[in-house]
Amino acid sequence: SAVISQKPSRDICQRGTSLTIQCQVDSQVTMMFWYRQQPGQSLTLIATANQGSEATYESGFVIDKFPISRPNLTFSTLTVSNMSPEDSSIYLCSVEEMRLGRDTQYFGPGTRLTVL
Amino acid sequence: KQEVTQIPAALSVPEGENLVLNCSFTDSAIYNLQWFRQDPGKGLTSLLLIQSSQREQTSGRLNASLDKSSGRSTLYIAASQPGDSATYLCAPRSQAGTALIFGKGTTLSVSS
């Protein structure tokens, strides 16, 4: 299965600043997804990032707040801009991989963000 | 819009018990469904993937069943161990190439 790494693993940031989260995959993948997991909640999809096209954002998430880059088939970044305490969450990237004829999603270890 | 419900929200059992985690989803037109486990503060580990045409899928002590027409899936854990303690998440996918939709999960605690 795809091996996914994220940087940083955790960070504590000040209100009003921005943080860029990196997601690196050890194989080429077409579909990448960014999710947010707020404290005590389940995962919510932020956007879908395909290489060579603009990211597609879910309702409630906008590009100005969460700009995403997808420069190639193994890498993506998510920026959390102008942060507020409400942005404190775990951010996870995931990829879709076809394995034994099945579309399976795999997740990175997550980035734990705390905004003060 | 797909909504996923997992029952119970939390479960505490002694080691060795067999247990069942339930997942229901509102839109039965799914492509496949994955079960994940999440350890506190960590990412997700894929446990089982069950295609819409399948009734069940097994991996070791885990067995996932799917009743697509009724919008239900169950995860059966046999002979539970303390290492099984984690949050279990159910996530259906509507079609290939789309994101998963998650329930809130069932937090399992297995005591020795």
- In order of A42, A100, B34, the CA distances from B23 in angstroms are 14, 25, 11
pLDDT, residue A53, reads: 81
pLDDT, one tens digit per residue, over B5-63 is: 999 999 999 999 999 999 999 999 999 999 999 998 888 999 999 999 999 999 999 99
Pairing label, strands A111-115, A10-13? parallel
Q: Which two tokens stand for residue A31?
A: 């579909």
Residues of A in CB contact (< 8 Å) with B are: 1, 30-31, 33, 35, 41-45, 48, 90, 92, 94, 96, 102-110, 112
- Whether residue A105 and residue B34 make contact (CB cut-off 8 A), yes or no, is yes
**B1 in Cβ contact with B18 (< 8 Å):** no
Query: Which residue blocks in A1-115 are alpha helix, DSSP H?
Result: none
Q: Where are the alpha helices (DSSP H) in B54-98?
A: none
Residue B63 Cα to chain centre, angstroms: 10
pLDDT of amino acid A72: 92
Token digits for B13?
A: 């059992």
pLDDT, one tens digit per residue, over A2-48 is: 899 999 999 999 999 999 999 999 999 988 999 999 988 889 999 99
Report CB contact under 8 Å: B103, A42.
yes
